[in-house]
């Protein structure tokens, strides 16, 4: 295991040494041995324009006594310096916990809140409404009853009358969208549930017809959040450019759903969701990363924004960034390419005044940037099912510097899901019978599990 770990570690360091920019996700979790770990994952784009992600480390904080922002920042700094990527990290994706946000400030690194976490907060806000809290509580009690009684569960499966009967799903507040899946499964098997509950003593109360109508409205309202979470949590494709268009699509979906609600509770929940979208997600259209990357995704460009004003501001930011790239490229060219000596044999121009005006014309990097951006925005939009990296693979040489901007932003993930996924892997590795695993072995096992693609 040590030899494999050393080999893959060396390969990953060689890969990271050849990239210009990367992003990281990080989150903390507690093992079954009641030890706190910090997982750091790295996301980057290779020279072949392929998005890759890798786990850098899973280690304890520098101090076990607190989870302060200073402690987290110091631990992160140590990991990033160990891998020689501290200066290359453009963005850190975390959840919305205050100490994580403060740690990014201490490190002077741009922070992007996990989009899936924001969606989950909207769902939890919705499920805590008084008008549905009682009904969702009833659903939890029904699921708990069947999960705790083998005879009742056997009757439930038999009552479905199908070869492969469905199971029930219990809601877990820390598991994204589990409440939606619980309610959806209850509605799918409501007839079998009613048959068993009505014929079993000491069973919880069955759902009424009014309860069913409210739950059907609630499922329709939670479905867009579930779809959005799945879409932005992908790990093998660019996701950060989906955030602003996804928010726009959610607004459109809920305005369309309002007229389709069958109950007054459904209409009030729909209005509440629209208000929560504005409160929790409008910030993504005002952040530099999400603004610029939406423009650089040829599927969306300026049309991906809800606000034309925000699209205009984003275009100005991208223009300034492109100017900086042009200046850097010009400085490199001047160092590498010597000036061309004048050609004495060249014939003299007929109109000297015209040549003088042409020679005195000021050529600026801003004009180059404006020209390239205008050409890019005037090109047809890419098909919606295309990977944005595939689009930039086929772009012409005249937009090579704009492509470098795109690569810098496309490596940022939309969520901290990769860190969250490592918690599940760690739960399998640090089982009840292996709670005394040493920190270095936990780190090696998770590193090998996640980074086996390097083999």
For the stretch 56-102, pLDDT in tens is 999 888 887 778 899 999 999 999 999 999 999 999 999 888 999 99
pTM for the full predicted model = 0.87
User: CATH 3.30.420: which residues of the chain?
Assistant: 2-114+416-454
The answer to whether residues 80 and 72 touch, using CB atoms and an 8 Å cutoff, is no
Tell me how far apart the alpha carbons of residues 222 and 215 are, in angstroms, rounded to a whole number: 10
Reference 121, options 311, 302, 277, 304; nearest CA is 277
Question: What is the band of 426 on the pLDDT scale with cuts at 50, 70, 90?
Answer: confident
Strand (E) or helix (H) holding 26: strand 22-30
Tell me, what's the pLDDT at 434? 80
Tell me, what's the pLDDT at 366? 80
Tell me how far apart the alpha carbons of residues 177 and 229 are, in angstroms, rounded to a whole number: 8
Q: Which residue has the higher pLDDT, 94 or 35?
A: 94
Mean of all residue pLDDT scores within the chain: 88
Tell me how far apart the alpha carbons of residues 415 and 50 are, in angstroms, rounded to a whole number: 18
Structure tokens at 216: 């059907």
94-129 confidence digits (pLDDT tens): 988 899 999 999 999 999 999 999 999 999 999 999
Fold of the domain built from segment(s) 2-114+416-454:
Nucleotidyltransferase; domain 5 (3.30.420)
Number of H helices, E strands in the chain: 19, 5
Q: Is the pLDDT of residue 362 over 70?
A: no
Could you tell me what percent of the chain has a pLDDT over 90?
A: 61
140-193 confidence digits (pLDDT tens): 999 999 999 999 999 999 999 988 999 999 988 767 788 999 999 999 999 999
Q: Is the pLDDT of residue 296 over 90?
A: yes
155 Cβ partners below 8 Å, 6+ apart? 195, 196, 199, 200
Tell me, what's the pLDDT at 336? 43
């Amino acid at each position: 295991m040590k030899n494999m770990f050393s080999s893959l570690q060396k390969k990953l360091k060689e890969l990271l040494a050849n990239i210009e920019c990367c992003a990281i996700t990080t989150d903390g979790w507690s093992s079954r041995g009641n030890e706190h770990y910090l997982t750091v994952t790295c996301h980057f784009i290779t020279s072949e324009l392929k998005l890759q992600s890798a786990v850098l480390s899973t280690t304890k904080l520098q101090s076990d006594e607190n989870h302060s922002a200073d402690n987290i920042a110091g631990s992160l700094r140590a990991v990033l310096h160990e891998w020689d990527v501290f200066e290359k990290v453009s963005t850190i994706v975390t959840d919305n916990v205050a100490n994580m946000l403060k740690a990014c400030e201490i490190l002077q690194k741009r922070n992007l809140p996990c989009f899936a976490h924001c969606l989950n907060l909207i769902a939890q806000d919705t499920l805590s409404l008084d008008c549905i809290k009682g009904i969702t509580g009833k659903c939890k009690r029904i699921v708990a009853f069947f999960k705790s009684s083998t005879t009742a569960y056997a009757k439930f499966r038999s009552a479905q009358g199908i070869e492969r009967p469905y199971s029930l799903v219990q809601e877990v507040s820390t598991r994204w969208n589990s409440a939606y899946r619980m309610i959806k499964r209850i509605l799918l098997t409501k007839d079998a549930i009613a048959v068993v509950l009505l014929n079993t003593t000491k069973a919880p109360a069955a759902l009424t017809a009014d309860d069913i109508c409210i739950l059907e409205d609630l499922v329709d309202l939670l479905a867009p959040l579930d779809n959005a979470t799945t879409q932005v949590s992908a790990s093998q494709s660019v996701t950060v450019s989906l955030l602003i268009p996804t928010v726009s699509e959610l607004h459109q979906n809920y305005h369309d759903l309002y007229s389709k609600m069958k109950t007054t509770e459904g209409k009030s929940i729909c209005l509440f969701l629209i208000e929560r979208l504005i409160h929790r997600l409008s910030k993504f259209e005002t952040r530099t990363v999400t603004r610029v990357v939406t423009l650089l995704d040829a599927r969306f460009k300026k049309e991906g924004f809800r606000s034309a004003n925000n699209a205009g501001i984003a275009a100005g930011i991208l223009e300034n960034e492109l100017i900086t790239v042009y200046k850097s490229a010009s400085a490199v060219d001047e160092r590498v390419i010597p000036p061309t000596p004048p050609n004495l044999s060249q014939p003299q121009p007929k109109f000297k005044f015209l040549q003088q005006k042409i020679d005195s014309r000021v050529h600026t990097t801003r004009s180059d940037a404006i020209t390239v951006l205008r050409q890019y925005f005037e090109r047809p939009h890419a098909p919606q099912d295309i990977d944005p990296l595939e689009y930039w693979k086929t772009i012409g040489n005249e937009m090579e510097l704009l492509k470098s901007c795109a690569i810098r932003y496309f490596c940022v993930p939309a969520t901290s899901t990769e860190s969250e996924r490592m918690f599940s892997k760690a739960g399998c590795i640090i089982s009840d019978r292996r709670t005394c695993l040493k920190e270095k072995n936990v780190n090696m096992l998770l590193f090998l599990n996640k980074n086996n693609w390097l083999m």
